[in-house]
Structure 1
């Protein structure tokens, strides 16, 4: 997966643009989160593919180069899907439920794959690879380059680097798990930084509920000591609103908390 993705991002720009994102879409090759003409863009390119459910795939966006890349993506994503289901089962138990509950709450798992390419930058202190944000879905499984740091998480008001491990996936809690748990499990604010000398590629798999799933704190996560913190949201609407704004940390999750306070 790493070798094929590196080969794809090293192709001439005209070949990569054969899979360019259509207007007002996030599928394919390009640059996400462009929300205004005067926006300072992040220092990165990406390829985003919807993997599951298979009926929703846009195969015209799946690269034919390098040879066999589609099969590699399929094999990698199938195994990540297996791992994500095991994680959701364990999280259900940790949250005091039967192991099948979180999977059933999704109705049908939406799984997307975002391959991020960060080229070297001569002034890394002036740009970010990806601006601070939290992920809108349930969990994110991330594979990093083995020997290039770049991911940082917000902790105690500062930024802490997440050192890559060659045999590990990083698991981030997303906004939906934060809402279901009524804030017990916080979605992690994170960003990607650049460096002068090395390109970096990361591979983020997003696990999300089906678009029409209504998400709100689970009943057993709310009591007199833990009042309800979040308004009910429909996941598809929540996701689209998140994508229509410039990534700015966790402001979008705070918005749903404020709605509760003023109701």
Structure 2
């Protein structure tokens, strides 16, 4: 999937595919008052560029449609939809959007620049997270998913490479996000294979907020173990036929319980994002240095 920070999980490293590029370099203008600083990544549909925005006097990220996508009605529609969703949202753990340009020579979406590694990068460099890091992370992301569900939006791509670490962490990339009615109407797989809920692999009308809870549980499992919950096999989606492996012994029982419940095959059996937050809140409050996100009283 395309993200504001492009990074390939270590288990998916392969020879990069050559994709069409604009070849934009430092100083090139993609819109009036918006110039390229450098390329920072990209995906199938987008090139991700660090840009200088003269209107805001700020460094931002531009997701620019690749040359073979720049006149595609589907790509332009999806670009506009992502911009509209971001315009509706205001949460401290969700990346901020600053509009889009769909009718210029370089159609693009503008996002805030987040200066930090993704969770995926941290795991690749240092292995599993300490519980003191993982618990606040889970609580923050659960709060973002609760907010999105209340706004009638499903992210559909919660995974380590879509979480930028910081204080607080940030959930990025709404390129496949859908409103609830749109999500329920999907009949084709959507998301990133290793972190997709079973109902994302074979949509049947039940696709909604529980899919994001599954993605959060799979992400926390990966943070705890350094491995994805469903090891790759001959099946494209092992989560359809197998159970996740055991969590490390160091895992607090309450955390193990909520992560395991979040990986339930049946979406109706999973806790809500709010349930996730309520379960994690006392664990975060009990940490030696309180990294808090919740009620007091």
Same-fold status (TM-score > 0.5): no
TM-score of the two chains, using structure 2 as the length reference: 0.26
Higher helix share: 2
Which structure would you say has the larger RCO, counting Cα contacts within 8 Å and 6 or more residues apart? 1
As a proportion of its length, which structure holds more strand? 1
